[in-house]
Structure 1
Amino acid sequence: MSLLYALPGNAAFARALCRHTGWQRGQLELHRFPDGESLLRLATPPRGVVAMTCSLQRPDAKLFALLAAAATARELGATQVGLVAPYLAYMRQDARFRPGEAISARVIGNLLGSGFDWVVTVDPHLHRIHDLAEVFACRTTVVQAAPELAAWIRANVRSPLLVGPDGESAQWVEAVADRLGAPCVVARKQRRGDRDVSVRLPSLARWRGHTPVLLDDIAASGHTLIDTARGVREQLPQASPVAVVVHGLLGRRSREALRGAGIARLVTTNTVPGELAAIDVSARVAQALAILGADAA
């Protein structure tokens, strides 16, 4: 029987994975000391193939516990230790843009790749890196969210026009548009800082009567989506844009700012838990987990 342990905050996704796969939940305890250090305990003895599930938003506070869980499982008898990270952090810094900068994608790939035998994730932010195998020292499986995104849009949006806020979003926009048989456009973005971006859209005049669906893989500050929404509203003032995001890292103020920019509805997948997580990708992740577990058995 394969075991799946959930790091704090990941219990709901772990329950869904176990329901889909038949894996057994392992019990994990994490205690935080007053000085900020942690004590991790695998209350269910590990055996055979085990996996940890942990979505890596705000990753710095999670990485020690995650690596400690993997090392402890291996020490106590697990034959293989895998990681299910629905959201995989640190993939956006995939090059050295200024002298001396860390290439974070390579750092996280080496760190997790040395601690785990395999990693499953959903739509990592790959731009100049085209395959996780380029930076990970272990086997990796990438789950595509496009089928679930398309299904949600089909069920909830009339006559969608898919809008990508920048060239990096084109891969998701085109994949979803193809599944829907819907038109799509991609904007050009200029970024001057974390919260200073400008977006230029092509003409949308031929798409009057369609509902703009802003689609991106990651939303953190929300400024890219806000600028895109304003550009859409300038060209299509009667439209009520919808925003669909794979990984929602938005705080309360960012969500309020998006609504203030005229976005009628904002939804994300459940790779990151939260009130916006209306699109469930757990079944597709479970398929990948089941295959890896069977191969390792």
Structure 2
Amino acid sequence: MWELGEGLEIRLFSGSANRPLAEAVARSLGLGLGKALVERFPDGEVRVRLLESVRGADVYLIQPTAPPVNDHLMELLIMADAVRRSSAARINAVIPYFGYARQDKQTQGREPISAKLVADLIQEVGVHRVITVDLHAPQIQGFFNIPVDELSAVKLFASYLENHHLTDNAVVVSPDSGRAEHARRLSERLNLPLAILAKRRIGPRETQVAYVIGDVAGKRPLIIDDIISTGGTIRRGVEALAAAGAQEAIVMATHGVLVGPAHENLSHPAIREVVFTNTIQLTPAMGFNILSTADLLAQAIRNVHTNQSVSALI
């Protein structure tokens, strides 16, 4: 068992949102998952009970707040409260996918900033640090008054593209201006040109691609996004790229939320393949390529626990 300082041992626990990822993280660290009971009362309330001591330990709760978001968020909060009341020395929330991240600002009057509310709730139950992957909005880090380590899947996508020889005659495409920084980092890593899709919002859940910024004619678009929910934005993006003379696109996204008509939209003939990470639990039977974030999260946990830099992983 690893120790930090004067006997501070590490403990890993998982909620029900993505246990296979938590188990893979534990294997990468050479540890086992802590024993805990996570279940529902008949009326839907969450019940948590730790089945081993965490007194004086450095505890890591691995729980993406994936759909059903509210259920998994409550699990995380209740687990953190259980750990705090069990006298853990430090509580770290490993949230590979941070739900409510798209509600990071007011877009109309009399709206909440729900991402800030969630950040407040996480801090209120005693969490000392958050580890996450590809936040939808970088300013969410500032919603917390505790350290937030945001990891990136860009390196995973770059390795996948290189290993599968998908970078020849390619152009990295950002689906909007908000993802331009991630796209820029991927394009620099692969030494490829960059293009951006200019969008305009025509409703609270509807966008339209106005035009393509950059040369994509005759090139293979490598579209990189953080979240794909219904897939409508991606479908409209690949249609705009095809109209501009691009080849079939490779679509990559860190978080596959995949609700509503997502599978239909991602089956568009202008899309050659779709790649996700496993921050949200997916299966190969869905027809997508899935990259594991387990080693990345494990290294972040290792570095945090041993007081080493996490920024080197980014």
TM-score (norm 2): 0.86
Q: Which moved more, 1:177-186 or 1:274-283?
A: 274-283
Q: 2:137 aligns with which of 81, 102, 126?
A: 126
Residue 193 of structure 1: CA displacement?
2.8
TM-score (norm 1): 0.91
1:74 is aligned to: 84
Q: Which moved more, 1:17-26 or 1:181-190?
A: 17-26
2:4 is aligned to: none
The whole-number CA distance in structure 2 between the counterparts of 1:14 and 1:230 is 37
Does residue 173 (structure 1) correspond to residue 183 (structure 2)? The answer is yes
Does residue 101 (structure 1) correspond to residue 111 (structure 2)? The answer is yes
In structure 1, what residue type is equivalent to 2:199? K
Equivalent residues, number: 291
2:150 is aligned to: 142
Q: Which runs of 4+ in 1 moved over 3 A?
A: 206-209
Q: Residues 114-169 of structure 1, C-alpha deviation per residue, up to 9 Å, x if partnerless?
A: 22111100010115x2x60x111222111121111111122221422111111001
Q: Residues 1-33 of structure 1, C-alpha deviation per residue, up to 9 Å, x if partnerless?
A: 411111013221112211222343102222212
1:92 is aligned to: 102
SS of the residue corresponding to residue 149 of structure 2 reads strand
The whole-number CA distance in structure 2 between the counterparts of 1:277 and 1:34 is 37
Q: Residues 206-261 of structure 1, C-alpha deviation per residue, up to 9 Å, x if partnerless?
A: 54442111111111111110100101111226x21110011111137312222135
Does residue 42 (structure 1) correspond to residue 50 (structure 2)? The answer is yes
Q: Residues 165-217 of structure 1, C-alpha deviation per residue, up to 9 Å, x if partnerless?
A: 1100101110111100011101111122354210133366x544421111111
Residue 55 of structure 1: CA displacement?
0.9
The whole-number CA distance in structure 2 between the counterparts of 1:49 and 1:24 is 14
- RMSD value, Cα: 2.0
Q: 2:272 aligns with which of 264, 274, 278?
A: 264
| 8 Å contact from structure 1 (residues 195, 223) kept in 2 | no
Q: 1:112 aligns with which of 116, 122, 132?
A: 122
Q: 1:212 aligns with which of 213, 221, 236?
A: 221
Residue 54 of structure 1: CA displacement?
0.6
Percent sequence identity over matched residues?
A: 26
The whole-number CA distance in structure 2 between the counterparts of 1:100 and 1:180 is 44
Unaligned runs of 5+ in 1: none
The whole-number CA distance in structure 2 between the counterparts of 1:211 and 1:101 is 40
The whole-number CA distance in structure 2 between the counterparts of 1:93 and 1:261 is 32
SS of the residue corresponding to residue 137 of structure 1 reads coil
| 8 Å contact from structure 2 (residues 64, 72) kept in 1 | no
